Amino acid sequence: MKVIHLGGQTADSNVEIPTGAVVAVGNFDAVHQGHVDLIWKARALARERKTPLAVLTFEPHPRRIFRPDDPPFRVTPLDLKVERLEKEGVEIVYVLAFDWNVAGLSAEEFIKNVIDKIKPVVLTTGEDFKFGHNRTGNLETLQAAGYEALVVPLKTDPQHGVISATRIRGLIQSGHISEANNLLGWAWVIRGKVQKGDQRGRELGFPTANVLLNETIHPSYGVYATLVRINDDAQWRMAATNIGIRPMFEVKTALVEAHILDFSGDIYGKTLEIMPIRKIRDEEKYESLDALIAQIERDCLEARRILAKDLEPVA
């Protein structure tokens, strides 16, 4: 897969921009079942036209520009988004650096400055996609500029609810991970480098691998039964994982702290994937460290019980 950065400081100025692809356009945060429908429609057209399959997406997410004070909301930061797109057969990802200059482009200017550079054979978009200043650009705008473009209807679930990143974010934030995964069509993961923490877990007898959430959406704070994987290892390991601010110790920045069961080893600096399976309980403040330790022991037992059925995560 080729990842081509357009515009901004990350632009690939010395790289020839590939052209002539069928291009699906959108934010694609979450790469959920609705996005996959859009990509598959583009893939069918790409095979028919014997051209590459590409996606045009935006980084940072436009919401981060328009609402900079919003808390973290990304279901799939860029690296995870690109990985999910590749799994769906995407061969080229154009990553447009989204800033106020791009936001201020009229629809016609957006076509001239962005679309004309990648010269798509066909463009596909979701029916809710708009572009250009004040969202004035749409399917008809693209067609008026001479591009073949088509809209793919929004996908709904069996209860006729529209599958959207907004809906998935709400489920994650409320701790309903399995429901979110059903809409995603894959098992959501948090990914990050293992950081050195304050060693509280080790002092309590439960060492943890700590990962910052950064721009990743914060799930409902609490303890989860999770599966974890170290540096793309084939093995997923059981873990009891706290996600939140640890009210016993009043941590200011939310963390993911995974106590990997039946494991010992130095994994500082390695990449950890944490797959929440089910929430066990909310975060709590205990009267003593002994009470906390006893609860952690119960959490580990409950995590083992839950995960005994879930050792084969969804792809």
User: 41-58, pLDDT tens digit by residue?
Assistant: 999 999 999 999 999 999
Residue-wise pLDDT tens digits, 213-256: 999 999 999 999 999 999 988 899 999 999 998 877 777 789 99
- Distant-in-sequence, close-in-space partners of 78: CB < 8 Å, separation ≥ 6: 59, 95
Q: What HEC string does the chain produce?
A: CEEEEECCCCCCCCCCCCCCCEEEECCCCCCCHHHHHHHHHHHHHHHHHCCCEEEEEEECCHHHHHCCCCCCCECCCHHHHHHHHHHCCCCEEEEEECCHHHHCCCHHHHHHHHHHHHCCCEEEEECCCCECHHHCECHHHHHHCCCCEEEECCCECCCCCECCHHHHHHHHHCCCHHHHHHHHCCCCCEEEEEECCCCHHHHHCCCCEEEECCCECCCCCEEEEEEEEECCCCCCEEEEEEEECCCCCCCCCCEEEEEECCCCCCCCCCEEEEEEEEEEEECCCCCCHHHHHHHHHHHHHHHHHHHCCCCCCCC
What residues have CB less than 8 Å from 67, skipping those under 6 apart? none
For the chain, what is the mean pLDDT? 93
Q: Is the pLDDT of residue 304 over 70?
A: yes
Whether residue 29 is predicted with pLDDT greater than 60 in this model: the reply is: yes
Residue 66 CB contacts under 8 Å (≥ 6 apart), including other chains: 103
Q: In what order do the strands lie in the sheet with 122-126?
A: 2-6, 92-97, 53-59, 22-25, 122-126, 149-152
Residue with structure tokens 């200043």?
133
Q: What's the rounded mean pLDDT across residues 86-113?
A: 97
Task: Name the pLDDT band for 305 (thresholds 50, 70, 90).
Answer: very high
Could you give phi then psi for residue 129, rounded to 5 degrees? Answer: -80, 130
Number of Cβ within 10 Å of residue 299's Cβ equals: 21
CA angle 66, 112, 100 (to 5 degrees): 20
Phi, psi of 152 (to 5 degrees): -105, 125
Residue 120, pLDDT above cutoff 70: yes
Q: Label residue 253 exposed, middle or buried (CB < 10 Å: 0-12, 13-18, 19+).
A: exposed
Measured distance CA(166)–CA(170) in Å, rounded: 6
Task: Domains for the chain: give ranges and CATH numbers.
Answer: 2-152 (3.40.50.620), 189-307 (2.40.30.30)
Q: Is pLDDT of 203 > 90? A: no
Phi, psi (degrees; rounded to nearest 5) at 32:
-90, -175
Q: Give the mean model confidence (pLDDT) for residues 150-173.
A: 96
